Amino acid sequence: MPVDLDSLLGKAYSVEEAAGILSISAEAVRRLIRRKLLKAVRPEARRNYTILGEDLVLYLTAGKGTSTMAAIEAHRVKARLGKVLAKAKPRTITEA
């Protein structure tokens, strides 16, 4: 179901509410926050994140037409590639 982006503006959402809007799990939203793909605030005295509607709109439109799941999968592939490259042994090139 398409999201009316204008209706998100000016409001704050919990992780669970954001998950419903994005059609992903609450844990997936937390991963996006930890990976800094989705901006969120956590007041000092509170344990839970708050996501502003403006930040949800930015996240939804940042992919320029890419679906949320495709964007998440692309991020996972990039992260896996980074791990593989980090484990690879550097080679030196010798002149012949």
- Read off the pLDDT of residues 2-38 as tens digits, 9 standing for 90 and up: 778 888 889 999 999 999 999 999 999 999 999 999 9
Indicate the pTM of the whole model: 0.61
**CA–CA distance, 21 with 62 (Å, rounded to integer):** 16
**Backbone torsions φ then ψ of 74, nearest 5 degrees:** -60, -40
**Mind giving me the DSSP string for 3-32?**
--HHHHTT-EE-HHHHHHHHTS-HHHHHHH
Amino acid type, 23: S
Tell me: domain 5-87, CATH 1.10.1660.10, correct?
A: yes
Q: What is the three-class DSSP state of 2?
A: coil
Which pLDDT does position 11 carry in this prediction?
94
Kindly list the domain boundaries of the chain, sorted by start residue: 5-87
The predicted-structure confidence for 72-86, as pLDDT tens digits, reads as follows 566 567 777 777 777
Angle between helices 26-34 and 15-22 (to 10 degrees): 100
DSSP secondary structure letter of residue 35: T
Check residue 48 and report its DSSP letter.
S
